[in-house]
Amino acid sequence: MRSFLLALRTSRRCYSAAHKAIKLAQQQDLEQDILAWESLLAPEETAARDAVRAWVDARFAPRITEAHRRGAFPRDLIPELAELGVFGASLQGYGCAGMSSVAYGLVMQELERGDSALRSLCSVQGSLVMHAIHAFGSPEQRERWLPALAQGKLIGCFALTESSAGSDPAAMAATARRDGDAYMLEGEKAWITNAPIADLAVVFAKVADEDGRVRAFVVERGPGLEVHSVEGKLSLRASPTGNILLAAARGALLPGSGGLKSALQCLTQAREGIAWGVTGAAMDCFEAALDYGAHRQVFGRPLASRQLFQERLATMAQSIVTSQLMSLHFGRLKDQGRLTPVQVSLHKRHNVAAARRVASDARAMLGANGIIDTNKVMRHLMNLESVYTYEGTDDVHALAVGRALTGISAFS
């Protein structure tokens, strides 16, 4: 969060003083925020946030530009992420941190302040893969996989989407048939985050001898599972993405899974993390614009002294704090067991759209400098184009909210 709510007090007669005030405020790393945000958080929540923020600044931020250029995640950092406790951070037991939903959300915020690829890696690992095993797995399956996933010794991916079954997962074609004490899976999955580096996949498929009922399976990397990396991405370049081919791949049924509701339950967990996370990207873009305005001289004055620049900063800050308040409210509801799927749709849709606008404005405010990858705002903007689409498009979430408001479904 840092300096995004700092008041920019300028005077027509004293621009140099305003410039110094901005610089001092940035150096102090204060939250002189209109909302008194810190007072709304518990000590353990701010501690989790600050620990991840410090790690991102020290270990990840210096490497993300090169990782983005190369299109490869710095995998040597995975053990450090595990040491931070970010894998499965909201789960209880099995070496997981057991954080509150708000603390977990703040962690996602700080990870995405580094890059959406970083938050995506951790979100898929924890909210999708580990949550599925934790919620639907047998005690033996939990003991077998969860500790290793929490320690980063295993990386997982979540294979639900297919090329012709994205927003409509019920249209999936992947199948599973029983073979002794296991199942043999056939089919293809598309756009799977973490797939190229994953040791195992949580795969959703229709079971032939259960009238096509959708169940979840853990498929470990090996015979019958083939991964092809998606090349040429302009967005989420540091996030490993792949397509999966299943050809008589042996899978272990997660016995508690049943129907698409199991997959949607996992997606609900992940979407909350996304809604928190994108605000971190917006904050990073805001700070870049604020810093640029403080140092860029235009007609003998700091750019930040200009009315239009300040108006844009105020609008960006307004979007960010609105997103934060929504996240905090829904986080508290989640901790109380009162959060509903439609609220998650509202949350994800609002915050991603807000972050996208902030990133776009920051790009424009930096002028030509905004398209250089070392200035990061274009990287965030390109990433947010993907986040706007994945785990439920903006339009699909709008229809989910619309159904709740009208009582009429537009899906059928």
Is the separation of the CB atoms in 8 and 313 below 8 Å?
yes
Closest CA to 288 of 61, 38, 119, 122: 61
Told to judge if 391 belongs to the known catalytic residues of this protein, a careful annotator would answer yes
pLDDT number for residue 186: 98
Confidence band, pLDDT 50/70/90 cuts, at residue 36: confident
pLDDT above 70 covers a percentage of the chain that reads 92
Say which DSSP state 202 is in.
E
Phi first, then psi: give them for residue 297, nearest 5 degrees.
-95, 130
CATH 3.20.20.10 for domain 50-150: no
Confidence band, pLDDT 50/70/90 cuts, at residue 189: very high
Who contacts 64 (Cβ-Cβ below 8 Å, separation ≥6)?
114, 115, 117, 118, 238, 376, 379
> Does residue 27 surpass a pLDDT of 90?
no
Average pLDDT for 344-354: 98
DSSP string, 226-269: EEEE----SSSTTS-EEEEEEEEEEEEE-TT--SHHHHHHHHHH
Domain ranges of the chain: 15-28+262-406, 50-150, 156-259
Rounded to whole angstroms, how far apart are CA atoms 56 and 205? 37
CATH of 156-259, one of 3.20.20.240, 3.40.640.10, 2.40.110.10, 1.10.3660.10: 2.40.110.10
pLDDT in tens, 309-325: 999 999 999 999 999 99
Average pLDDT for 94-119: 98
pLDDT number for residue 412: 75
The rounded mean pLDDT for the chain is 92
Rg (CA), the chain: 22
pLDDT number for residue 34: 72
pTM of the prediction?
0.90
CATH of 15-28+262-406, one of 3.40.50.150, 3.40.50.1100, 1.20.140.10, 3.40.640.10: 1.20.140.10
Of 112, 188, 272, 391, the catalytic one is 391
pLDDT number for residue 411: 86
Rounded to whole angstroms, how far apart are CA atoms 376 and 288? 8
Rounded to whole angstroms, how far apart are CA atoms 316 and 283? 9
Pairing relationship of beta strands 301-302 and 297-298 according to DSSP bridges: antiparallel
